[in-house]
């Protein structure tokens, strides 16, 4: 959510930003919110004047009563009573107008960074850099579900009976690799100086509304029936919510955290849920990184964060590339975002395994997260980035480390988490 003062003073900048995001249907909202804001400020000014008048008249009444001028004092009391009625009307109007303004402001997109490429959708995202040589072996790399099957590692049929489509059982060596990758991702980020955290896996609607747009919430979040709770789609939601309504000490910035959680997503949309594999599922596990920092430091942290994900996957012998998200592919709260994509030797193309975003002060404004420095109190900037989301990260690992005989190589970095194993062997 952008600053109402900024919108008031720069309406054309806000409109141009909306055009860059190809959301022309929202252009009229700028003028609407400006009109409501003017009406709200007018009501506030009149209410403030009435309060000042009430205080002044109250003092006059006291003086008149002290002088025995009861009749004049009663007239002043009637004046205060009349003002009180109007003040109540104005206060109700202020509340109603502010609710309307907030509702509109919540759907006006954040101002994107000047470096963001302009494009309508993800087909116009821009490749930044490749890391590692994308190799296609001289044998046909199996579909990841078939690699897992040869390890006796995947059972979607049973999961279908217990939970429905979009769920899975991981077993044996496959489950062990999955857990090893999560544990390695945790320690990888701890070694980078991040504080490890396991957050709540359910959050209230006030936190949901603070960290994401209404459209994202509707497409992603599972609501707990009968309670004001949602299952998290990523631990970023809980981690940013941790600071809701807080003034953090400026000397504590940057706050750098890495969090583990299961994640739950509806996956509503055109992609659909895979019948055989585990690329797009309703439940997965994730190691995330979250940073709260001073505004002037946010871009430096943005670049550090995505580079950590690149380094993590390269340590597992997975070639990756970074892809700059274009304006039309950015969620409304994001200032700038890039995807880290892993090489798929089976498909001979890259696919997304992580996403890094800076949201400026949008989440902090919604949630009231501030810090106090020499120049006063100000909003912090928030950033988030995927270290590892598995089983998607597991797919990348398997495809890039599988051998023709179905065995899977274990890179040096992962061996301490696999009991020293250098390779896992197929069971069939």
Residue-by-residue pLDDT tens, the chain, 428 positions: 899 999 999 999 999 999 999 999 999 999 999 999 999 999 999 888 888 887 777 777 777 677 777 777 667 777 777 777 888 888 899 999 999 999 999 999 999 999 999 999 999 999 999 999 999 999 999 999 999 999 999 999 999 999 999 899 999 999 999 999 999 999 999 999 999 999 999 999 999 988 887 677 777 889 999 999 999 999 999 999 999 999 999 999 999 999 999 999 987 554 556 678 899 899 999 999 999 999 999 999 999 999 999 999 999 999 999 999 999 999 999 999 999 999 999 999 999 999 999 999 999 999 999 999 888 999 999 999 999 999 999 999 999 999 999 999 999 999 999 999 999 999 87
In a domain, 115, yes or no: no
Say how far residue 128 (Cα) sits from the centre of its chain. Answer: 22
pLDDT value, residue 270: 44
Last residue of a domain, one of 104, 129, 150: 104
Q: Is 151 exposed, middle or buried (0-12, 13-18, 19+ CB in 10 A)?
A: buried
Q: Do 332 and 253 share a structural domain?
A: yes
Find out whether 357 is annotated in a ligand binding site: no
Domain that holds residue 265: 120-422
Neighbours of 98 (CB within 10 A): 16
Find out whether 267 is annotated in a ligand binding site: yes
Q: Do 125 and 268 share a structural domain?
A: yes
Find out whether 283 is annotated in a ligand binding site: yes
- Looking up residue 249, the CATH number of its domain turns out to be 3.30.930.10
Find out whether 266 is annotated in a ligand binding site: yes
d(CA 7, CA 5): 5
How far are the Cα atoms of 157, 366, 402, 406 from residue 149, in angstroms, in the given order?
12, 46, 13, 10
Contact (CB, 8 A) for 417 and 180: yes
Find out whether 234 is annotated in a ligand binding site: yes
- Residue of 321, 286, 322 lying closest to 394 (CA atoms): 286
Q: Do 383 and 338 share a structural domain?
A: yes
Q: Do 403 and 298 share a structural domain?
A: yes
Contact (CB, 8 A) for 84 and 103: no
Structure tokens given for 174: 């496959």
pLDDT value, residue 53: 81
Find out whether 347 is annotated in a ligand binding site: no
Neighbours of 16 (CB within 10 A): 13
Place of tokens 């996403």: 355
Last residue of a domain, one of 104, 132, 164: 104
For the segment 273-319, what is each residue's pLDDT rounded down to a tens digit? Answer: 667 889 989 999 999 999 999 999 999 999 999 999 999 999 999 99
Q: Is 386 exposed, middle or buried (0-12, 13-18, 19+ CB in 10 A)?
A: buried
Last residue of a domain, one of 71, 104, 137: 104
> Three-class SS string for the chain?
CCCHHHHHHCHHHHHHHHHHCCCHHHHHHHHHHHHHHHHHHHHHHHHHHHHHHHHHHHHHHHHHHHCCCHHHHHHHHHHHHHHHHHHHHHHHHHHHHHHHHHHHHCCCCCCCCCCCCCCCCHHHCEEEEEECCCCCCCCCCCCHHHHHHHCCCEEHHHHHHHCCCCCCEECHHHHHHHHHHHHHHHHHHHHCCCEEECCCCEECHHHHHHHCCHHHHHHHCEECCCCCCEECCCHHHHHHHCCCCCEEEHHHCCEEEEEEEEEECCCCCCCCCCCCCCCCCCEEEEEEEEEEECHHHHHHHHHHHHHHHHHHHHCCCCCEEEEECCHHHCCCCCCEEEEEEEEECCCCEEEEEEEEEECCCHHHHHHCCEEEECCEEEECEEEEEEEEEECHHHHHHHHHHECCCCCEECCHHHHHHHCCCCEECCCC
Q: Do 331 and 237 share a structural domain?
A: yes
In a domain, 111, yes or no: no
Angle between the N-to-C axes of helices 172-191 and 298-314, in degrees from 0 to 180, rounded to the nearest 10: 140
Find out whether 282 is annotated in a ligand binding site: yes
- Looking up residue 50, the CATH number of its domain turns out to be 1.10.287.40
Place of tokens 């301490």: 416
pLDDT value, residue 271: 56
Q: Is 175 exposed, middle or buried (0-12, 13-18, 19+ CB in 10 A)?
A: middle
Q: Do 237 and 97 share a structural domain?
A: no
Find out whether 355 is annotated in a ligand binding site: yes
Q: Do 229 and 144 share a structural domain?
A: yes
Contact (CB, 8 A) for 396 and 181: no
Q: Do 251 and 365 share a structural domain?
A: yes
Q: Do 169 and 82 share a structural domain?
A: no
Contact (CB, 8 A) for 77 and 61: yes
Find out whether 281 is annotated in a ligand binding site: yes
Number of domains into which the chain is organized: 2
Q: Do 375 and 236 share a structural domain?
A: yes
Contact (CB, 8 A) for 274 and 280: yes
Q: Do 380 and 266 share a structural domain?
A: yes
> Edge-to-edge strands of the sheet including 247-249?
247-249, 370-373, 376-379
Q: Do 8 and 146 share a structural domain?
A: no
């Amino acid at each position: 959510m952008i600053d109402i003062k900024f919108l008031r003073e720069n309406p054309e900048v806000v409109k141009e930003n909306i055009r860059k995001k190809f959301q022309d249907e929202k252009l009229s909202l700028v003028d609407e919110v400006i009109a409501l804001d003017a009406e709200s400020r007018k009501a506030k000014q009149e209410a403030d004047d009435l309060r000042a008048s009430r205080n002044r008249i109250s003092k006059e009444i006291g003086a008149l009563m002290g002088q025995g001028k009861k009749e004049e004092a009663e007239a002043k009391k009637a004046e205060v009573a009349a003002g009180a009625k109007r003040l109540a009307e104005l206060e109700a109007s202020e509340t109603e107008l502010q609710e309307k303004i907030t509702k509109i402001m919540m759907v006006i997109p954040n101002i994107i960074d000047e470096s963001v490429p302009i494009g309508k959708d993800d087909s116009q995202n821009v490749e930044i850099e490749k890391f590692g040589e994308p190799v296609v072996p001289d044998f046909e790399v199996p579909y990841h579900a078939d690699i897992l099957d040869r390890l006796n590692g995947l059972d979607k049929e049973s999961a279908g009976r217990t939970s429905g489509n979009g769920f899975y059982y991981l077993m044996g060596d496959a489950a062990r690799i999955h857990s090893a990758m999560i544990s390695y991702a945790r320690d990888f980020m701890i070694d980078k100086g991040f504080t490890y955290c396991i957050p709540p896996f359910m959050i209230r609607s006030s936190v949901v509304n603070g960290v994401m747009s209404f459209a994202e919430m509707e497409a992603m979040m599972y609501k707990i029936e009968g309670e004001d709770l949602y299952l998290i789609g990523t631990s970023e939601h809980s981690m940013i919510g941790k600071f809701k309504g807080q003034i953090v000490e400026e000397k504590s910035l940057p706050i750098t955290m890495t969090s583990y959680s299961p994640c739950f997503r509806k996956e509503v949309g055109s992609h659909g849920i895979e019948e055989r594999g585990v690329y797009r599922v309703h439940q997965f596990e994730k190691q995330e990184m979250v940073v709260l920092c001073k505004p002037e430091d946010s871009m430096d942290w943005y670049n550090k964060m995505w580079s950590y994900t690149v380094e993590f996957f390269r340590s597992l012998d997975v070639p990756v590339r970074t892809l700059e998200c274009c304006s039309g592919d950015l969620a409304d709260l994001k200032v700038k975002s890039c995807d880290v994509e892993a090489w798929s030797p089976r498909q001979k193309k890259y696919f997304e395994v992580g996403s890094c975003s800076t949201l400026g002060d949008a989440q902090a404004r919604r949630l009231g997260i501030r810090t106090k420095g020499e120049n006063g109190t100000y909003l912090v900037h928030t950033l988030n980035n995927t270290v590892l989301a598995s089983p998607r990260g597991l797919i990348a690992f398997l495809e890039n480390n599988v051998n023709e005989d179905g065995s899977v190589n274990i890179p040096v970095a992962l061996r301490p988490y696999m009991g020293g194993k250098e390779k896992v062997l197929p069971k069939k």
